[in-house]
């Protein structure tokens, strides 16, 4: 299919909207990203980003200078001029576990009222439960002027925070769900510059591909976390076990890192929403419910490890390395560090934390934490160091210097990034996750003179 340049509207300028808009402009389309938050639009128009995402600012800057990417706070004229409209607004979790689709409905109404007289494809890119496409179509039909010509398509996004630009510029697949030949042709022409496979399905299948993919990855993480538990009990090392498993290409090495469990704005919410929609449709998806249970337990078990290592928590000085839910992002949604810091504060510990980019956001949520200028400063006089997020700067830190700064050299490694033999040789007491073989059956490695 040959490339066809399109006029595109992207509604919503979160991670997905911004990256989608910038990447589609980069490959030659004319894109306007719309947001109803005037403050966000002002930031974007000033050449800044409301989020931290490596490479995104440079990409946005690059495509803005070509004139192919613009920002606006006015949905009507932008949608009215567009041939393809992407819905990229948030679908946050409701207390019930279902996705809150009220922003989607509102945007569908706004789009309906703004459609031009030409044919338009309205694309749902936000992560939504199956049948949302059908409901978006119904909503637009209800609110659009008589005779409006449009189709709805589903085009789920698979980018991950921290690598979003790379993921979107070179995806491993593009999924397009359509229910008309005309929409299929538009979407194939739109994505013609991308070399990866483009899978065309029905709308429901595309919607399920997204939820099923995220839930499968979450399942894989919970699986290795459960194996980590067995490793601790059996005296094995889950890092070695995962390496041995991952070399089987049917299993693969990715998403086999045991740790504090998955967090972020996607997996917790999407697994829940997939379970809810399955149940609504008449299937109790107990497999993913168990994955959720293991994930929650993983977090509390790690907190128990901290408690066990410290014994009395009150007045202990604890250093936290990493606050964001994963490296290379400042996103604190469902970040384990938030729970750990809160628990420590509630139990009377003095918490000093460092994160390369997330400290400004964390200060607002946890003002009682003392934030340090660098990773070493927070370890000064500490009774324990907890590695929560595996930023490169921590993996490469001078642990000899850390050891010398601490009052008690207890190292809790929530992501299994350190070599236990090495840190023990430096004089640390090491607590990993699922490393019974190297650590003794309780998952603890003690240095010389510290053994039990």
- Which residues are annotated as catalytic? 266
Taking the complex as a whole, the smallest distance from the CB of residue 294 to ligand UGA amounts, in Å, to 11
Binding of ligand UGA at residue 227 (CB under 6 A)? no
Contact between 77 and 70 under an 8 Å Cβ cutoff? The reply is: no
Strands (E), 54-213: 69-72, 84-87, 120-124, 150-154, 174-177, 198-201
Binding of ligand UGA at residue 264 (CB under 6 A)? yes
Which span (112-120, 143-151, 254-262, 284-292) binds ligand UGA, by CB under 6 A? 254-262
Cβ nearer to ligand UGA, comparing 150 with 418: 418
Judged by CB under 6 A, the chain residues 133 through 152 that form the site for ligand UGA are none
Q: Which residues contact 244 (CB under 8 A, 6 or more apart)?
A: none
Binding of ligand UGA at residue 259 (CB under 6 A)? yes
Q: Which of 266, 303, 358, 439 binds ligand UGA (CB under 6 A)?
A: 266
Judged by CB under 6 A, the chain residues 17 through 36 that form the site for ligand UGA are none
Taking the complex as a whole, the smallest distance from the CB of residue 144 to ligand UGA amounts, in Å, to 29
Query: What phi and psi, each to the nearest 5 degrees, are found at residue 100?
Result: -80, 110
Q: Which residues contact 58 (CB under 8 A, 6 or more apart)?
A: none
Question: Which residue do the tokens 């992207």 mark?
Answer: 10
Q: Pick from 340, 254, 252: which is nearest to 298 by CA?
A: 340
Which span (45-53, 195-203, 257-265, 363-371) binds ligand UGA, by CB under 6 A? 257-265
x/- track of binding to ligand UGA for residues 152-171 (CB under 6 A): -----xxxxx----------
Q: Which residues contact 286 (CB under 8 A, 6 or more apart)?
A: none
Judged by CB under 6 A, the chain residues 326 through 355 that form the site for ligand UGA are 326
Cβ nearer to ligand UGA, comparing 181 with 248: 248
Taking the complex as a whole, the smallest distance from the CB of residue 236 to ligand UGA amounts, in Å, to 18
Pairing label, strands 30-34, 7-11: parallel
Q: Looking at residue 124, what DSSP letter applies? A: E
Cβ nearer to ligand UGA, comparing 139 with 292: 292
Cβ nearer to ligand UGA, comparing 232 with 270: 270
Cβ nearer to ligand UGA, comparing 208 with 217: 217
Q: Radius of gyration over alpha carbons of the chain, in Å?
A: 24
Binding of ligand UGA at residue 262 (CB under 6 A)? yes
Judged by DSSP in three states, 290 sits in helix
Nearest 5°: the CA angle 264, 48, 352 is 50
Cβ nearer to ligand UGA, comparing 19 with 236: 19
Contact between 3 and 185 under an 8 Å Cβ cutoff? The reply is: no
Give contact residues for ligand UGA (rule: CB under 6 A): 127, 157-161, 214, 217, 221, 255-257, 259, 262-264, 266-267, 270, 325-326
């Amino acid at each position: 299919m040959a490339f066809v340049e399109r006029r595109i509207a992207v509604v919503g300028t979160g991670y997905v909207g911004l990256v989608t808009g910038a990447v589609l402009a980069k490959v030659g389309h004319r894109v306007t990203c719309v947001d109803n938050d005037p403050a966000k639009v002002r930031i974007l128009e000033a050449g800044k980003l409301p989020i931290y995402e490596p490479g995104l600012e440079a990409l946005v800057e690059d495509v803005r200078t070509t004139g192919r990417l613009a920002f606006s706070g006015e949905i009507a004229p932008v949608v009215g001029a567009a041939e393809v409209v992407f819905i990229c607004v948030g679908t946050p979790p409701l207390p019930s576990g279902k996705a809150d689709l009220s922003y989607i409905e509102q945007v569908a109404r706004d789009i309906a009222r703004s459609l031009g007289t030409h044919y338009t494809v309205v694309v749902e890119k936000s992560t939504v439960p199956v049948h949302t496409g059908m409901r978006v179509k119904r909503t637009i039909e209800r609110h659009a002027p008589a005779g409006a010509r449009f189709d709805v398509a589903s085009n789920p996004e698979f980018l991950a925070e921290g690598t979003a630009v790379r993921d979107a510029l070179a995806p491993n697949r593009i999924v397009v769900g359509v229910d008309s030949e005309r929409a299929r042709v538009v979407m194939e022409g739109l994505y013609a510059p991308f070399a990866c496979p483009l899978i065309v399905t029905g709308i429901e299948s595309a919607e399920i591909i997204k939820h099923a993919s995220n839930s499968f990855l979450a399942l894989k993480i919970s699986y290795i976390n459960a194996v980590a538990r067995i490793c601790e009990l059996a005296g094995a090392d889950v890092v070695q076990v995962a390496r041995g498993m991952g070399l089987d290409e049917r299993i693969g090495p990715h998403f086999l890192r045991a740790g504090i469990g998955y967090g972020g704005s996607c997996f917790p919410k999407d697994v829940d929403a997939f379970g809810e929609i399955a149940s609504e449709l008449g299937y109790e998806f107990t497999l993913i419910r168990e994955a959720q249970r293991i994930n929650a337990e993983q977090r509390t078990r790690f907190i128990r490890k901290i408690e066990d290592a410290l014994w009395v928590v009150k007045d202990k000085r604890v250093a936290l390395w990493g606050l964001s839910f994963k490296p290379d992002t400042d996103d604190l949604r469902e970040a384990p560090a938030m729970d750990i810091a809160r628990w420590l504060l509630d139990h009377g510990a003095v918490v000093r934390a460092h994160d390369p980019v997330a400290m400004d956001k964390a200060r607002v949520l946890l003002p009682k934490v003392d934030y340090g200028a660098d990773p070493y400063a927070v370890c000064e006089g500490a009774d324990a160091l907890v590695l929560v997020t595996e930023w490169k700067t921590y993996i490469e830190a001078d642990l000899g210097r850390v050891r010398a700064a601490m009052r008690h050299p207890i190292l809790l490694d929530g992501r299994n990034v350190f070599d236990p033999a090495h840190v023990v040789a430096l004089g640390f007491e090491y607590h990993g996750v699922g490393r019974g073989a190297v650590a003794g059956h309780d998952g603890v490695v003690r240095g010389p003179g510290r053994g039990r």
